[in-house]
Amino acid sequence: MAELCRSALTCAGDPQIAELRVRQAGERERTYQALATAVGRDNGTPWGVVTVMRDITTQKELERLKSNFLSVISHELRTPLHSIGGFVDVILMGKTGPINELQRDFLETVKEQAHHLYQLIEDLLEFNRLESGQFQLSPAPVEIGTLIKEVVEAMFPVADERKVRLVNRVSVPTATVEGDRKRLRQVFINLVDNALKFTPAGGSITLQASAGAQEVVVSVQDTGIGIPEEEQARIFERFYQVDSGLTREHRGTGLGLAIVKHIVEQHGGRIWVESRVNEGSTFFVGLPYALPKEQLTVDLARLPSPRDLPPGN
């Protein structure tokens, strides 16, 4: 609480928000959302901080239940899907006897659909993990140029198949940031994969990066179908998909960008898009050089009692 007030005082008028977990002996833990703003005198110097505390314990509990439910269901669905995929593969390999063209065709569809369902479950699980804060970043120095090179190499076969040119203009090295390599790779794989999905054959995708004073900005630009202005903010919401004939042709969960946004924000970064319909879209990811400090949560039960503190505190 004290830290929240301090940061409200130093952040000139910007309201500060934190979740505070409060545990008192004999009572169950409660969660409060605290919003703190510095209140100023006429001459602009602050004289204090006003904090509004909202009890969000029930909401948190519901979120936890929903997240557990999703996680159990997804795990339960994964196992049978694995066997469906496995057995279809065995039949397609001809190990159970010869199959005709029509049967092969149908089995390929079963395999494709099972894969799609599997992808959906994976996305749901991943989103769930991110939303419920059940995962921790594994920070390490990540050289952005090398990471992008790796992503482009991994996506080349897909681009080739879709007849889209993949151009990497990011030099090695570009800059090193502190981050979770695997998650950051996932961010750029996802953005390039989207660009490929929404760019017709003959188009191109270009990756660029620039290292500024505060952050490294990586851009993924495509010459695809574009995103209408009124939809641009919404595409980062979970399950949101732009409703047009062409987009519906593509399979997806609508969770990709929500996951990407989560990961970028966990790194203290930002993501935004610039786009024009029928001309293309550019997604920008700005990553700071160092990870932000841990989120502010206070567990009163674990705070030392005054008699444990050294004199003067």
Q: 29-33 — which CB contacts under 8 Å span 24+ positions?
A: 29/57, 29/301, 30/55, 30/57, 31/55, 31/56, 31/57, 31/60, 32/56
For position 139 contacting ligand ADP by CB under 6 A, the verdict is no
- Two tokens at 164? 């889209």
CA angle, residues 164, 170, 171, in degrees to nearest 5: 135
Q: Which position among 198, 218, 269, 286 is part of the footprint of ligand ADP (CB under 6 A)?
A: 198
| Number of other residues whose CB lies within 10 A of the CB of residue 172 | 12
Nearest CB to ligand ADP, comparing residues 29 and 279: 279
Nearest CB to ligand ADP, comparing residues 51 and 223: 223
Q: How far is 235 from 256, CA to CA, in rounded Å?
A: 9
Q: Within positions 213 to 252, which residues make up the interface with ligand ADP, using CB under 6 A? A: 222, 224-225, 227, 235, 240-242, 247, 252
- Two tokens at 276? 């024009």
What is the b/e burial string over 108-144, where b = at least 16 CB atoms within 10 angstroms of the residue's CB?
eeebeebeeebebbebbbbbbbbbeeebebeeeebeb
For position 194 contacting ligand ADP by CB under 6 A, the verdict is yes
Segment interacting with ligand ADP, rule: CB under 6 A, options 34-42, 75-83, 140-148, 255-263: 255-263
Q: Give the total of residues touching ligand ADP (CB under 6 A).
A: 20
For position 126 contacting ligand ADP by CB under 6 A, the verdict is no
Q: What are phi and psi of 190, to 5 degrees?
A: -65, -45
Q: What are phi and psi of 105, to 5 degrees?
A: -60, -50
Map residues 153-192 to x or -, x wherever contact with ligand ADP holds by CB under 6 A. Answer: ----------------------------------------
Shortest reach from residue 199's CB to ligand ADP, in Å: 7
For position 142 contacting ligand ADP by CB under 6 A, the verdict is no
For position 85 contacting ligand ADP by CB under 6 A, the verdict is no
Amino acid at 290: A
Map residues 279-298 to x or -, x wherever contact with ligand ADP holds by CB under 6 A. Answer: --x-----------------
Q: Under the rule (CB under 6 A), what is the footprint of ligand ADP?
A: 194-195, 198, 222, 224-225, 227, 235, 240-242, 247, 252-258, 281
